[in-house]
Chain A
Amino acid sequence: MIRTEHLSKIYRMGQIEVPALRDVSVEIEEGEFLAIVGPSGSGKSTFLNMLGCLDKPTTGAVFIDGTNTALLNENGLAEIRRNKIGFIFQQFNLIHTLNTLENVSLPLFFAGVSRAERLKRAAELLTKVGLEKRMQHKPSELSGGQQQRVAIARALSNNPEIIIGDEPTGNVDSETGTAIMDLLTALNREGRTVIIVTHDTEIAAHVPRVIKMKDGKVLD
């Protein structure tokens, strides 16, 4: 379960303070499928970064399975990211020097899994997302939709409880977007918590729970 308490984040730009999040308190149950929507600058990505332990709040707390992540150091956060969270980005963010198989196995490399084991697991995941014939390809040789499926396979490699997607359908055509949403829905059915940020209302309409944000606040 994920719970935030009076979460706020203030960015400092020289002398000016820019509040990106203001007193956000939200509870997300295990196995939920959640979409955060709102106009740009509403603080939805900042909020997602807090949930994904990529960033620390200025004040307030984020509890993941009871652990207050605001109190963890860099390594503690890295460990949570590695063990509990899988990230999917709008820009896919694959490592262009590595092939598909290696990209998917990278989180397992950081987790200290043996080479044979991580390649085996990566191959299974690529098969799961329908890319079993693209294992040796470099990201630049894949279409946007294929790259996003590789990114999803990578997010799954450590078998995380939580999948976090920042505009996962933002850079693909609508048909591919639908396919990716189907994949995320399937992952949610497996019992994983899925949290995505989107500005696409059509996508949000398929998600059971939607949180609307504006000016750094959650609208009821």
Chain B
Amino acid sequence: MDNAIVATHPHTHETAVHAEHEHVSLPQHRHHFETEDQQREAATFGMWLFLLTEIMFFGGMFFAYLLYRNWYYDAFVVGSNQLSIPLGTANTAILITSGFFMALAVWAAEVKKRGLLVIFLILTTLFGIAFIGVKADEYHEKWEKHHIPGASFDVAEFVNPHAYGLKEQPLAPDMAQKVQIYFFLYFAMTGMHALHMLIGLGLLGWLTWRAYRGEFSAGYVAPIENFGLYWHFVDIVWLFLFPLLYLINRHPLH
């Protein structure tokens, strides 16, 4: 006979749950999960694993940063001095605020407040866009100063800083070339971070629309929660990028 072991145990977990509680089934419950808790836990667990892969993804670049920072310390100091601390700090504050509203959005979904949820999601989005705006301004400045790695990379400012009103020691031409590596890592790391922001903003728009339709106000909050995890992860990456690229040893003693 088919499913012999099944037949000997007619009381499955699911029927037990149904018997014990007045259980309301959500429309988003997918049939292959025994319970909604299982579905929610699976989704969250999957998100954490995905974030683990993201850590490994960024890890490759952090490794390259570590290596080249040790090799070309002077070039990295000079490159780091080119970045604007006020803009970086402002962006950090903007991103943390955005993360704060995301946390509030998760709370709003959990207490089933539709209006608040939509407002918090929109605020999250606006601060996210502000971050991208500031970042674009910083990129634009590098573009104008020919500090984008590639054929048109200009080392004049690093070999002859005094001519540009900078107070730092001039670099030897070969070390000045290495600033290119610094800027490449700067663009690769912040660019990959910005790409994650952009994907996140796209998802936020979609989630806002769904939240507006009331999909997350009836107890089904997994997408909001898991997106929250993603958004906080993007925050945290920036919290590592900011000190590594902007702050460390800005003003060396020599």
Please determine whether chains A and B interact with each other in the same assembly. Answer: no
Interface residue ranges, B against A (CB under 8 Å): none
